Each structure stands twice: as C-alpha cells, then as structure tokens.
Amino acid sequence: MDEDTGAPVGPARAVVRGVLHVLDALLAFAGFVRPVTQGQRQTWADSISRSVVVRMDLIDRITLPGQR
C-alpha cells in the first residue's frame, strides 16, 4: 500500500518494488534484516518505493466487522 495515502500501489510500482528487492539482497541481505530494526518494518525497497506491507487479516477485520 502507498505509505502516504493507504491506497494500493498499482502494478507499475509493485514491479519497481520487486526489482528494488535486488538492493535488499546486496551486502549479505542487510535490506531484509532492516525490517527488524526499522519502525514501519520496511525493507530498503519499501522505503524507496514509499510502500508498506499490510497484513490482510487486519484489513479483513477493519472492512468486515462482525464477520468473526
């Protein structure tokens, strides 16, 4: 999701984010360790593409109240 608006990032930005994950793999996968220490749990690819990963079970609880 877009870090600023909360809207889906769209296919083009999702592809860019995926390509940027190559940066996360450089330097002994340090970019994949970054979410452990970073406040919003973002990899370098997420920060550069200004995206955040959202758990779908949380989205479902918000959008489908009373379903559980």
CB 54 within 8 A of CB 44: no
Which residue did the predictor score with more confidence, 42 or 67? Answer: 42
Phi–psi pair at 51, nearest 5 degrees: -125, 160
* Residue range 6-42, pLDDT digits in tens: 888 999 999 999 999 888 888 778 888 888 888 888 9
In the structure encoding, which two tokens stand for residue 3, read together? Answer: 């870090």
Instruction: Check: CB of residue 7 under 8 Å from CB of residue 52.
Output: no
Q: Is the pLDDT of residue 68 over 60?
A: no
Instruction: Give yes or no for a contact between 34 and 43, defined as CB atoms under 8 angstroms apart.
Output: yes
pTM: 0.69
Give me the pLDDT at residue 54, please. Answer: 81
Any idea where the domains of the chain sit in the sequence? 11-63
Residue 67 pLDDT greater than 70, yes or no:
no
Q: What pLDDT sits at residue 65?
A: 64
